[in-house]
Structures are given as C-alpha cells and as structure tokens.
Chain A
C-alpha cells in the first residue's frame, strides 16, 4: 500500500500541479506533499488558496511537527526545507540545495528514508535539476518514480535530469499521471479482494 505521494515542480509547476491534483479522485487516501520552488517572500497562503479552488481535499501549508493526515495536500512553505518523518513534518532552514529552498531533493530523500517502498515520487516541469537525486533515492529504496514527459513539460530540464538519474517506473504526459497514480493506489486493494485475503 502506498502511504505518501511526493511531488516536485519548479518553472511551470503551478499550472501542472493544478491539473494533476484535479485529476486525482477524492477517494485516493495517501497524503500528497508538494514542493514548488517559489520566491522566499511569496505571500504566504496564495498557492494553497488557488489550489483549494480546484479540489475538494484540504490544502494546507505544512508547519513544523504538523501531523500528516490522509487525503490532505501539504505545501512546502516558502524559504524552508520541508522534510517528512513517519507521521509528521519537520522543517529546516539549512542552506539552499540546487539554489532552492524548499528543495525537492531534501523532501524526496526524507520521504525515501521515512516511507521506503510506500512512497510515490513525481517530478514535474522545471528549469533546474532539483529532484533528480531525491527521486533516484525513492526508487533505490523501493518506491515508485514517476516523471512528466519532458516533451510535454513547460520546461524540460528537471524531467530530463530525473530521467538521467533513475530508471523511472513511468514517463508520462501530465494528463496521464493522475490516472497512473490512481491505478497504483487502488490496485493493491483489488488484488487483496480478489485473492480473498
């Protein structure tokens, strides 16, 4: 069973995440954590409010030690790294990674350590290489690596770097990622039902 979905995006990410989230049916349980590169002084709540207009599940800015709950969407706050531990978040103000804070690598690495095989990592559009190392670690620790098709991305540098860093489970145009993730999240249950376990 997948317990956490981590998504990273940079340039063009706001459009992409809106589409992806609205493609994910409400019954998908795993919490979704999203790291989007943004300016340190971005007005706090705008991104959460914008996304909330499009989907039913609650969208919140992650805070230190906040418990991670099913069906929620959590956003990495500007100017902090967001890390996950089992069941809760941790923040850090350590140096920028790949010029970014929040860094997608930092989020993904922490998710890979805390959740191992039950993480789905998704790298979307972006104009730098953040996320590639983190996605590779998710994959190495048994999780699932999904990458937006570079040809389909607003900026292809980030998906290209992720593809070079790891053997992705799926490289898909944006509009198919939601369906793919949905399949991952519902299928194990169906397997269990049909085997009568």
Chain B
C-alpha cells in the first residue's frame, strides 16, 4: 500500500519503509525546520494538532511521489520519556524489530547509530 490511510488520533508520527532498503523510517524535522527522514523512532517529529498532521501528510505524499519511501502513514503515539511510542502493538513492533530476535532491527540499534537519512 503506497498511499496514506485515514488519519489516526493525535498525537501521531509519520512512518514509512525506505524504498531502496525497505527498513522503517520516520519523519524528522531538521535544524532548519525542513522535514526529512530518520531511522531512529526516538527522533520522530510528533504532530499534536491538525496543522502539524496535515504537514506530515503533505510530506508523505511528496516522498511517495518522488520515490523515496513506500507505505507511508501516520501512527498514533503515546509521549514517553524515551520519545513517542506507538499505541498499537503492531506499530510498536515496527519501531523495534522481531520480538524473538532482540539482536535484530531497531531494538538492536540497526541504522540508528549511523543516523543515515533515507
């Protein structure tokens, strides 16, 4: 699915899969305020109002159209000390990796330490 689905309750973050590598990426605001992508869910920008959610949706549409990512959609989150955490278990797994393999995925720091952009 390459298109956005219905907006979830806020606050929310935008996640997607990187087109080339397939791993999960999150929308992030750069120092200049422009939106980009990070592999670190802890750095994801959180939309707390409709205007911010619309901005993320617009960014997702552009990223899909310019072939940077696939399967981009907003995910509702709880705000914790460690950063935004998806409320639904499916999306939580997506920010972590397979629960039976803690040595793999974001829970093992994959892609996060390098801070690569999508």
User: Are A and B a genuine interacting pair, yes or no?
Assistant: no
Residues of B in contact with A (beta carbons under 8 Å apart): none
